[in-house]
Amino acid sequence: MKVRILGCSGGIGGRHLRTTSMLVDDDILIDAGTGVADLSLAELATIDHVFLTHSHLDHIASLPLLIDSVSDMRSRPVTVYATAATLEIIARHIFNWSIWPDFSAIPSREQALMQYRTIALGQSVRLGQRAITVLPAEHTVPAVGYQLDSGSASLVFTGDTTINSAFWPVINRIANLRYLLIETAFPNSERRLAEISKHLCPSLLAEELKQLKVDAEIYISHLKPSQIELTMSEIEACAADFRPRRLYNNQVFDF
């Protein structure tokens, strides 16, 4: 599997800050934040599957425009995978004819441009030799993370999450784990805000990483644009033993 980071920022601003999205090979998206807009029209048209971690705007902003932009270039629907709760939210609040057309009914339910697929915690979806498994997350709305397994190695993306005791026993059973992409949205001075909004700050991240029992390269996502340097310096101080690195836009993982 080849994963290209299209966006990993907690906000926008400047040439290299895009919100969360990852392109897997050339046909799968994990989330559909603003980074999707940097793809060419031809690249957009090859995307068949979109896996959403949750319904917040920074993770779905490009989805309505993606489907609209390539609707006349495709012969089959784009499949959107998410939990039942997340699909209900985006159907009610986004694809509702008031904010955006309901592409799950255009031109008809039988020949729609978009189709929903409900997934559940622990479920694996196989696409060829690739397996995408739903992992537990803890956020202000129903949320999940994902394990991407090529067969030879795995990449885990936590999505937006906070302290989550259910996550680590699952991760520690992944024998071929190579990469862990984990969020940290706020610096330590905003720990209370992190707790209220169910994100991580460096001190919370350090507490969580102590539960990691398998070896993996750790990358930090979802840094707030104005606090990147501060937050990363605090992470390096709090969790130096784990050698965490900042995740960058356009970074590629091949595994």
Task: Tell me the pTM.
Answer: 0.97
188 within some domain: yes
Whether 255 is covered by a domain: the verdict is no
Is 174 inside any structural domain?
Answer: yes
Q: Give the DSSP letter string of 36-60.
A: GGGS-HHHHHT--EEE-S---HHHH
Quickly count: other Cβ atoms within 10 Å of residue 34's Cβ. Answer: 21
Does residue 138 lie in a domain region? yes
* Number of domains the chain is built from: 1
Task: Determine the Cα angle at 178 with ends 240 and 185, to 5°.
Answer: 50
Pairing of the two strands 78-82 and 49-51: parallel
Q: For residue 71, what are the domain limits?
A: 2-249
CATH no. for residue 190?
3.60.15.10
In a domain, 135, yes or no: yes
User: Tens digit of pLDDT for each residue in 71-106?
Assistant: 999 999 999 999 999 999 999 999 999 999 999 999
| Contact between 2 and 254 (Cβ < 8 Å) | yes
- Contact 10/224 with Cβ under 8 angstroms? yes
In a domain, 254, yes or no: no
Is 34 inside any structural domain?
Answer: yes
pLDDT, tens digit (0-9, with 9 covering 90-100), for 119-143: 999 999 999 999 999 999 999 999 9
